[in-house]
Amino acid sequence: MIEIESVSKSYGGVRVLDDVSLTIPTGGITSLIGANGAGKSTLLSVASRLLPADGGRVRVDGMDVATTPGPVLARRLAVLRQENAMSVRLTVRELVAFGRFPHSGGRLTAEDHRLVDEALAWFELGPLADRHLDQLSGGQRQRAYVAMVMCQGTDHVLLDEPLNNLDMRHAVQMMRMLRGMADELGRTVVLVVHDVNVASCYSDRIVAMREGQLVAEGPTPELMTPELLRKVFDVEVEVHELAGRRIGVPWS
């Protein structure tokens, strides 16, 4: 469970997060949606202690992220940012193995090796395991990063725009894998997503933000309404039911 209590954050006088309070329950996929600059990524960064908050606090399983020692938190919560340009040249296996660092501090045990193999298999990276990251396509690389985060073996996984740079096939594949992590492995997955329909089709809960504030949160079907989407995105959106899913279609 992630508890966010009246968190605020400003950049150079601009308030990016304004007194946000939110509880993300254990289990399932929660998607943060909102227009550009609504504060989704910032909220994710604050919740994962990549950014310090100006006010308020965030607790993961009751532990304050600002004061909990890094290694302890890293065994409870894993995070992946959007930009992951690395200056070092690693193979896929080496990268994924770093996911075990919070547990083994760099000296991999047999158990660690097994978990690395498992993560590689889960994300269908086995054949690519000994390739260098710079030899992969954008979609494969993205999968490798998410595999590292999964390999961290945490209950909470926070991902910022995991579908960035992925084409339709790879995006669907990625969402299926994340869905599996939530359903089969019981992880709590939190995503920042800019496509409402991805959020609608794959997540259990939606958190909608606008201009640094929380607009609404709740189970996906409740939030996929024309009224709410208009409020969040400032665009008229029709919501249609298609094969049991709610799909938003913007029009003007």
Provide the binding-site residues for other proteins, judged by CB under 8 A. Answer: 48-50, 69-75, 78-81, 84-91, 93-94, 98-99, 101-102, 105-107, 129-131, 135, 149, 152
What is the maximum span of the chain, computed from C-alpha positions, in angstroms?
A: 58
Least Å from the CB of residue 119 to other proteins: 14
Nearer to other proteins, 144 or 206 (CB): 144
64 versus 211: smaller Cβ distance to other proteins: 64
CB of 99 to other proteins, least distance (A): 7
Shortest distance in whole angstroms from residue 215 CB to other proteins? 27
> Residues 175, 202, 79, CA angle at the centre, nearest 5°?
55
Task: Provide the token pair at 21.
Answer: 């309070």
- Give the amino acid at 133: L
CA 55 to chain centre: 23
Contact 134, 56 (CB under 8 A): no
Backbone angles phi, psi at 235, to 5 degrees: -135, 145
Nearer Cβ to other proteins (48/188): 48
Concatenate the DSSP letters of all residues of 18-81 into one string: EEEEEEE-SSSEEEEEESTTSSHHHHHHHHTTSS--SEEEEEETTEETTTS-HHHHHTTEEEE-
The residue (of 72 and 249) whose beta carbon lies closer to other proteins is 72
Closer residue to other proteins in complex, CB, 17/158: 158
| Shortest Å, Cβ 22 to other proteins | 20
At its nearest, how many Å lie between other proteins and the CB of residue 81? Answer: 5
